[in-house]
């Protein structure tokens, strides 16, 4: 008998199983619900074991700027290695979090696709409100692009120019640009390490 309700196949039971293996998943848009969940999971896992690695698997069209900045702050704050993996797509906020992983531990599956752009925000209201919102948006864009430049090793000017329009990267191009360090070719690369062990690729 067919079910009318659309029960998600990737449910909380599956997420709990992955969490027990220190794997977090951003599937779909990053928003004000799953963003804080990922933040608290990162902090909780780091508190439980500061030496064991954490993996963040990303398949996302993008989402909340505030959430992605907070998650990056936490990745920089926790003492353990945070490995990131792009599978499927990593767009906008997804791309940002992908490149925010611990250097040397950022991965992409061979046929994943990465999108970088500046993003957008709805601006409206009175002339004064529009001006204030525009100033805030400019500051946010500068902050985000500056962090992408820091994480990729690219000059800010190049990141700015490349972000003016949607720019898609293959896994190989993403590695060349500095979003990721490795293209996955072995299973151990995507499994959290119980100790800080570098994996060559």
Residue 35 is predicted with a pLDDT of: 96
Closest C-alpha among 109, 71, 65 to residue 89: 109
What angle is formed at CA 64 by the lines to CA 136 and CA 148, rounded to 5 degrees? 75
Is the pLDDT confidence value at 75 over 70? yes
| pLDDT (tens digit per residue) in 183-192 | 999 998 887 7
Residue 125 is predicted with a pLDDT of: 46
Known catalytic residues are 92, 117
Average pLDDT, stretch 90-111?
A: 97
Higher pLDDT among residues 200 and 165, named by residue:
165
Higher pLDDT among residues 82 and 7, named by residue:
82
Residue 189 is predicted with a pLDDT of: 86
Residue 193 is predicted with a pLDDT of: 64
Average pLDDT, stretch 157-173?
A: 96
Residue 14 is predicted with a pLDDT of: 87
Considering the entire predicted model, what is its pTM? 0.86
What is d(CA 97, CA 64) in angstroms, rounded to the nearest whole number?
11
Q: What are the chain's domains?
A: 12-121+163-186 (3.90.226.10)
| pLDDT (tens digit per residue) in 11-31 | 778 888 999 999 999 999 999
User: Taking all residues of the chain, what is their mean pLDDT, rounded to a whole number?
Assistant: 87
Beta-carbon count within 10 A of 172 CB: 12
- Give the side-chain half-sphere CA count within 13 A for 44: 11
Closest C-alpha among 193, 189, 149 to residue 21: 193
């Amino acid at each position: 008998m067919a079910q009318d309700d659309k029960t998600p196949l990737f449910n909380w039971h599956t997420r709990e199983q992955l969490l027990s293996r220190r794997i977090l998943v951003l599937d779909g848009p990053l928003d004000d619900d799953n963003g804080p969940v990922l933040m608290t999971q990162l902090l909780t896992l780091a508190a439980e074991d500061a030496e064991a690695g954490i993996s963040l698997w990303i398949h996302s069209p993008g989402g909340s700027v505030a959430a992605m900045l907070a998650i990056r702050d936490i990745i920089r704050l926790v003492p353990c290695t945070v490995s990131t993996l792009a599978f499927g797509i990593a767009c906008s906020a997804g791309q940002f979090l992908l490149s925010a992983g611990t250097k040397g531990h950022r991965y992409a599956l061979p046929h994943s696709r990465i999108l970088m752009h500046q993003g957008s925000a709805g601006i409206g209201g009175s002339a004064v409100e529009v001006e204030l919102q525009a100033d805030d948006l400019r500051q946010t864009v500068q902050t985000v692009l500056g962090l992408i430049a820091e994480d990729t090793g690219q000059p800010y000017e190049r990141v700015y120019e490349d972000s003016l329009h949607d720019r898609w990267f293959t896994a190989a191009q993403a590695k060349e640009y500095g979003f990721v360090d490795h293209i996955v070719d072995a299973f151990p690369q995507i499994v959290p390490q119980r100790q800080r062990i570098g994996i060559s690729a």
